[in-house]
Each structure stands twice: as C-alpha cells, then as structure tokens.
C-alpha cells in the first residue's frame, strides 16, 4: 500500500522545502509556546489535585482492619515511603521550555518511576482506589509535559531538516570553490607545461649551434682519451686477474690483491711500482702450475707478465694522469664559457619547471570535489515524516 500512501505526499523542490521550512518553524514555535503556556497555567491546579490525592492516600483506612499487625507495619512503611518520594517529586516538577529542560524532566520521571515501583505495587493491594486516583492526577501533569515534548520533537525534526538544507548549501558553495580552484590550477599547470616545452625546444635548437658542438666535441674527446688510458691499464691486468688473486691470497698480500679487484686504482696508488717486485714470483707460480690456472689463461698470463716493465707501467700512468688532467681542465674551461652557462641555465629552468609541474599535479590530485548525494538522500528520508517528496 506504499504507492497509495505516496498519493498524499506533496512534491517539493529544494527551494520550496526551504520556504516551507520557515513557515513550519514559526508554526512549531507558536505551538510549543502555546503548550508551555497551557502547561504553566494548569500546573498549579494539577499539583493541588495531586496533593489532595496524596492526603487521601495518607488518611485512607484499611478496608480489612483485621489483617496481622506485621502486615500493617509492612503496609505503613511502604505508604510512608511512597508518599515521601511523591512529595519530593512534585516539589521538583516544572513545565519544561526547551530540550535541556525536557531531558531534565524525563530523568526526574524516570527516577521517580524506578523508586516508587515496589511500594506502589504493594500499596495497590491495600489502597487500590487511592493509588489509582493519585496515578491519574500524576498522569494529567505528564500529559501536559508530553504535549510540550511533541512540539519539541517537531522543532527538533524541523531543525534537523534545516541543518541538512544548510549542509547541502555549504557543500554546493564548497564544490563551486573547489572546482574554481581546480580550474585555476589546471590553467597554471598548462602554462607550466607550455613553458617547459618551449624551453625544451629552445634547448634543442641551442644544442645545434656550432659553439655548443665544439664544446661537446672537446668534452667527448678528452673523456675518450682518459677512457682509452684506463682501458690500456685494465686490459693489461685483466689477463693477470686470476693469477694475481691466487698469488696474493697465497702470500697474504692485500696490496697486490687490489690489482685483481681494481687494477687502475691499485696502479696509480702504487707509487713505487711494488707490483714489479713480485713479477718473477708470479711468473714462476704460473709456470709451475702452482696457481692451477687453465691452459689458455696460463699462456695469456705469461704474455701479460712480460709487459710488466717499469717503462711500460710508467708510460701508462703518465698517459692516464695526463688524459685525466686534460679532461678536468677542459671541463673547468667549459664551465666558464658563456655558451655552457647558457646551456646550464636552460637545464636548470627545465628542471625547475618539472618540479613545479610535479608539485602542482600532486596538489590537483589531492583536491576532492565534495558531493551532496548522501545528504540529499538523508533529507529525503527526513521529509517523509512531513509527507513531502523531495524533487531534485
């Protein structure tokens, strides 16, 4: 039958609900104030009725005076307790005016109900009529409070609806702000990308200039000389690698062992060419098979040992040192040339642009466009109580 019930629902847009809500808030406010006024006007008379009922209960005689004395004492104790708790309760009773008041009065009623539950049940057996009249008088006060609670509940529901509408409006504003910010960031990002692409094209054109080509050739040629000098040294000792490693292990000489690990570094740090002192011993160990080299490695090792002369090693070291110095000199000279300063500036500008692009992309990725779908669904559920269907 849900479809039938929905026939009586009013369809309203968000704007219409906002307008309707203002009227409902005013109506609810008036209804609550009226309920409060009615309660306050009636409370004195209602309290008087309760007090009369308490007096009647207090003076009521047993319908059966022949019950045991013990039962009479038991009855009297519970009557005194019930009357004392009830008097205390009505001294604190008041007409609530708002939510906090209602919470306080609810607690008062709850505590009273808990405290008098047992004595009230017992007294019903002795003074059923008087207890019922007292309960009826108390119920009249509660009825006035319930009326106010209903209007407060209505106000709370209206306020919740209003809060949801405000939340939807806040989300809308936040969404617009975020989308605007996102668009601005995207524009900035595109500008940075364009700037970087322009710099790359300019750099590409720059590298075609004859001055830059000359710098590049100088750097490459000096690096090539140094690499060739390195290769001569490492190539010579490559054939001796296994032999030197085993020989050094045998005589426990770490300095010689470094010739097998990094011959270039070992040679340029071997200022006295101490490797030559072991030349003959290495040759004997290779020839005798003491180092257990494979036949093809044995022959290559012996040929390489023959080349280990003071003159050859000295020339190798000199060539390497000269090539390395020339490379360093060229790099130092190149760094001071205007053409390279210009090239370096291009590289730094492109690097800066890439960094800015990366940071901006991360910032854009963190931007979350808020959505009000869940809030609107919650608002729809809230409006069901008012028989309104939200139309979006």
What HEC string does 379-392 produce? HHHHHHHHCEEEEC
Note whether residue 209 is domain-resident. no
Note whether residue 294 is domain-resident. yes
What is the per-residue pLDDT for 220? 82
Note whether residue 2 is domain-resident. no
Which residue is associated with the tokens 């309960």?
135
Note whether residue 191 is domain-resident. no
Note whether residue 90 is domain-resident. yes
Residues 33 and 152 in one domain: yes
What is the per-residue pLDDT for 143? 94
Note whether residue 326 is domain-resident. yes
Q: Closest Cα to residue 278, out of 246, 326, 322? A: 246
Reduced to 3 states, what is the DSSP secondary structure of residue 61?
coil
Residues 26 and 172 in one domain: yes
What is the per-residue pLDDT for 8? 66
Note whether residue 93 is domain-resident. yes
Along the chain (392 residues), what's the average pLDDT of each consecutive run of 10 residues?
56 87 89 93 94 93 84 91 95 93 94 93 90 93 93 90 92 93 94 91 80 75 86 86 83 86 86 86 82 81 85 89 84 72 83 93 92 90 87 84
Which residue is associated with the tokens 């309203």?
12
Residues 136 and 33 in one domain: yes
d(CA 193, CA 354) in angstroms, rounded, equals 8
d(CA 42, CA 141) in angstroms, rounded, equals 8
CA angle 367/356/350 to nearest 5° reads: 150
Close Cβ partners of 152 (under 8 Å, ≥ 6 residues apart)? 32, 96, 98, 99, 102
Note whether residue 26 is domain-resident. yes
Residue 98: φ, ψ to 5°: -155, -175
Residues 24 and 154 in one domain: yes
Total structural domains within the chain: 2
Helices assigned H by DSSP within the chain: 2-6, 14-59, 69-92, 99-206, 210-238, 241-251, 254-261, 263-269, 279-287, 295-306, 310-336, 338-366, 373-383
Residues 269 and 322 in one domain: yes
Q: Are 47 and 90 in contact (CB under 8 A)?
A: yes
Residues 267 and 316 in one domain: yes
Residue span of the structural domain in which 253 resides? 226-335
What is the per-residue pLDDT for 1? 41
- Does this model's pTM top 0.75? My answer is no
d(CA 387, CA 10) in angstroms, rounded, equals 6
């Amino acid at each position: 039958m849900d479809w039938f019930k929905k026939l009586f629902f009013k369809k309203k847009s968000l704007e219409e609900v906002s307008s309707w809500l203002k009227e409902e808030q005013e109506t609810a406010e008036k209804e609550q104030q009226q309920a409060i006024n009615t309660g306050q006007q009636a409370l004195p008379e209602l309290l008087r009725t309760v007090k009369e009922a308490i007096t009647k209960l207090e003076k009521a005689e047993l319908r059966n005076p022949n019950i045991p004395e013990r039962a009479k004492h038991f009855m009297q104790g519970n009557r005194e307790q019930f009357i004392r708790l009830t008097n205390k309760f009505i001294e604190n009773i008041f007409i609530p005016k708002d939510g906090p008041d209602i919470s306080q009065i609810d607690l008062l009623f709850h505590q009273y109900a808990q405290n008098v539950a047992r004595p009230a049940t017992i007294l019903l057996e002795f003074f059923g009529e008087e207890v019922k009249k007292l309960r009826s008088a108390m119920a009249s006060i509660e009825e006035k409070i319930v009326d106010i609670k209903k209007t407060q509940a209505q106000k709370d529901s209206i306020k919740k609806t209003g809060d949801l509408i405000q939340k939807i409006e806040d989300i809308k504003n936040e969404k617009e702000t975020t989308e605007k910010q996102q668009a601005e960031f995207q524009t900035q990002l595109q500008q940075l990308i364009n700037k970087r692409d322009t710099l790359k094209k300019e750099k590409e054109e720059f590298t075609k200039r004859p001055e830059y080509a000359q710098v590049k050739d100088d750097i490459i040629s000096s690096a090539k000389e140094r690499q060739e000098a390195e290769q001569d040294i490492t190539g010579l000792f490559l054939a001796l690698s296994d032999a030197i490693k085993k020989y050094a292990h045998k005589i426990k000489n770490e300095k010689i062992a470094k010739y097998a690990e990094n011959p270039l570094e070992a040679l340029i740090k071997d200022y006295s060419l101490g490797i030559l002192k072991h030349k003959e011993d290495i040759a004997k160990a290779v020839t005798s098979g003491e180092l257990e080299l494979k036949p093809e490695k044995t022959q290559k090792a012996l040929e390489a040992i023959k080349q280990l002369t003071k003159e050859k090693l000295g020339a190798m070291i000199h060539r390497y040192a000269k090539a390395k110095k020339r490379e360093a000199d060229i790099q130092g000279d190149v760094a001071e040339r205007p053409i390279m300063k210009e090239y370096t500036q291009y590289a730094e500008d492109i690097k800066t642009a890439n960094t800015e692009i990366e940071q901006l992309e991360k910032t854009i990725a963190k931007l979350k466009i808020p959505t009000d779908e869940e809030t609107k669904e919650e608002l729809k559920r809230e409006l069901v109580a008012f028989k309104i269907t939200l139309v979006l």
